[in-house]
Amino acid sequence: MMEAESRSFADAEINRCLTPEEKIQFLRQMFRIRRFEQTSLKAYNAGKMGGFLHLYTGQESVAVATISLLGENDHVITAYRDHGHALVCGMEMGECMAEFFGKATGSSKGKGGSMHLFAPDKRYWGGHGIVAGQTPLGLGIAYALKYKGIRGCCLCYLGDGAVNQGVFHESLNLASLMSLPVIYIIENNGYSMGTSLARSSAFKQMLAQRAEGYNIPWDHANGENIYEMRVKTQAAIERAHEESRPTVLEIATYRYYGHSVADANARKYRTPEEIEHYKTYHDPLRLWQKRLVDEGILTEEQADAIDHEARAEAEVASRFADESPFPTEADIFTDVYSEVDQPVGDGPHGTYFFN
């Protein structure tokens, strides 16, 4: 990127109005995601949890920058690589870690697991395991906002592999046709599991361009650059708020770990050099920290302190999760039907479960 262009993002109104504390908060959020995930990885390796664990490490800046712009009527939904979005939306490390551990104190009472973090009270709608399955849900959130006459929008995240699910295209057509305030953010980390972008997707310049066929504005941003992402996301949010129109925004980013912690091939489909190169030259955390130091609003020592706090918070979360109880066998049958959990009138009628 050109030096000048980069400067102009920093100088944009939406970034100029940031207070030093807000900028430091971005760093803090990135540290919190990273340390939370490191702690969870340790716990995974210690057998404290099962199944999948899709680390967001390397992509933290995307959730931090894009969600930083949301107001009280703006919503978020994402896929299974959801830890970053969950924390930035305001979920506590403890409830998330307890969910990973399958504990009753988890955000979904241990029923969802790491792919399914939800906090509707924070306008965070998950955490979805089926690739692109969340894309029409995000549309539906935007639909509900418009239906209710609320000036808001929904940020709906998906991966570079997810763009090849048909339901995403159906969603794009519906979004444009019905003029819904949904913003699809493609977090293009270059790979869907072990498949590189070039091997999974046909496109001209970039994936987001597919939006053009639906008459939807699209743009792209560099995921290392918080200022740039904020500028481009803000444009999309304004389009959503002012015109109730959708946007597709593609953000170039990178994940350091394998697809999930269980990805045995993590170091096979990408060269170690490629990964090291990213960590060394493109780490969003490191870059933002350096920028804040350069801007003179943070010292290295202060940054370290923030890092320490994040580590400590993650440790506490891990202990909380560890010490929490598992659900009981009876809990298997709650949260299936609202009518069973919260009977209305003289209900429920009939048999609901068939063992």
Partner 1 sequence: MPLITYRKALNDALAEELLRDENVVLLGEEVAEYNGAYKVTEGLWARFGSKRVVDTPISEAGFVGMAVGASMLGIRPVVELMFWSFSYVTFDQIINNAGCVRYMSGGQIACPIVIRGPANGGTNVGATHSHTPENFLANTPGLKVVCPATAYDAKGLMKAAIRDNDPVMFMENTLLYGEQWEVPEEEYLIPIGVADVKREGTDISLIAHGRAVLTCLKAAEILQAQHGISAEVVDLRSIRPLDEETLLASVRKTHRAVLVEENKPFCGVDAQIASLIQEKAFDELDAPIQRISALDAPAIYSPPLEKLQLPTPDRVVQKALSIC
Which positions lie near ligand TPP, rule CB under 6 A?
81, 129-131, 159-162, 189, 191-193, 259
Q: What is the DSSP letter of 209?
A: G
- How far, in Å, CA of 219 to CA of 208, rounded? 7
Q: Report, in Å, the least distance between residue 72 CB and ligand TPP.
A: 28
- How far, in Å, CA of 342 to CA of 328, rounded? 19
Q: Compute CA distances 27 → 19, 32, 62, 314, 320, whole Å.
A: 13, 8, 12, 16, 25
Q: Report, in Å, the least distance between residue 65 CB and partner 1.
A: 24
Q: Which does 191 bind (CB under 5 to 8 A by kind): partner 1, ligand TPP, a copy of itself, none?
A: ligand TPP
Q: Which does 215 bind (CB under 5 to 8 A by kind): Mg ion, ligand TPP, a copy of itself, none?
A: a copy of itself
Which CB atom, from 105 or from 189, has the smaller least distance to ligand TPP?
A: 189
Query: Contacts with partner 1 in 315-354 (CB under 8 A)?
Result: 326-327, 329, 331-339, 341-342, 344-354
Contact 213, 242 (CB under 8 A): no
- Within 10 angstroms of residue 215's Cβ, the number of other Cβ atoms is 12
Residue 22: Cβ-neighbour burial (10 angstroms; 0-12, 13-18, 19+)? exposed
Q: Report, in Å, the least distance between residue 235 CB and a copy of itself.
A: 20
341 in the Ramachandran plot: left (φ > 0), alpha (ψ -120 to 50) or beta? Answer: alpha
Q: Report, in Å, the least distance between residue 205 CB and Mg ion.
A: 18
Which CB atom, from 58 or from 159, has the smaller least distance to Mg ion?
A: 159
- How far, in Å, CA of 302 to CA of 309, rounded? 11
Place of tokens 């639909």: 143
Which CB atom, from 128 or from 146, has the smaller least distance to ligand TPP?
A: 128
Instruction: Report which residue's Cβ sits closest to ligand TPP.
Output: 159
Contact 79, 162 (CB under 8 A): yes
Query: Contacts with a copy of itself in 166-205 (CB under 8 A)?
Result: 166-170, 172-173, 176-177, 199-204
Selected binder of partner 1 within 193, 206, 235, 316 (CB under 8 A): 193
Selected binder of partner 1 within 3, 13, 72, 120 (CB under 8 A): 120
Query: Contacts with partner 1 in 64-93 (CB under 8 A)?
Result: 77
For 67, the 3-state DSSP assignment is helix
- How far, in Å, CA of 283 to CA of 254, rounded? 9
Q: Report, in Å, the least distance between residue 192 CB and ligand TPP.
A: 3
